[in-house]
Amino acid sequence: MSKTGASHFILQQVRNRKIRMALSVPVFYEYRDVLTRDKSLKVFRLQSDDVEKFLRFVAYIGKPFKIYFLLRPNLQDEKDNKIAELAVTSRSEFLITSNIKDFVQKAELKFEQLKIITPGGFVKMWRDKYV
């Protein structure tokens, strides 16, 4: 939402290939679904062309993973399960989300190696470690 925000910083690190972004087809389509909603276009002050450019960037820069199993952490929002599946399949160290509570409350499976963290928390950790 802001060029000085944590999510923007993270995307810059992805663009500069300092952070790898895992991607699967279901997660890509979830991004498209969310970003093309009227509410998202208004909040982010974007046009459809802007979203398409961003999605092309994500498709280009993201490291693709195929999900060969249906791991279901049984999160309340089925769409969050796709994100958790990708994080596990890609062996990601971090799942960065502003939606932490949905990934930790009422989840039937716990993943010791996966740290669920907010964008702001991740940027603070990153800067403490690398800057």
Domain ranges of the chain: 6-130
**Residue 80 CB coordination number (10 Å):** 19
Record the tokens describing residue 120, joined without a space.
Answer: 């702001």
Per-residue pLDDT, 70:
67
pLDDT at 51 over 70: yes
Mean pLDDT of 85-90: 92
pLDDT at residue 104, rounded to an integer: 78
Span 62-73, average pLDDT:
82
Q: Residue 82: which residues within 8 A CB-CB, separation 6 or more?
A: 24, 26, 27, 30
Share of the chain above pLDDT 90, in %: 66
Q: At what angle do helices 119-130 and 6-15 cross, to 10 degrees?
A: 60
The pTM assigned to this predicted structure is: 0.87
The DSSP call for residue 25 is H
Q: Would you state the pLDDT for residue 103?
A: 83
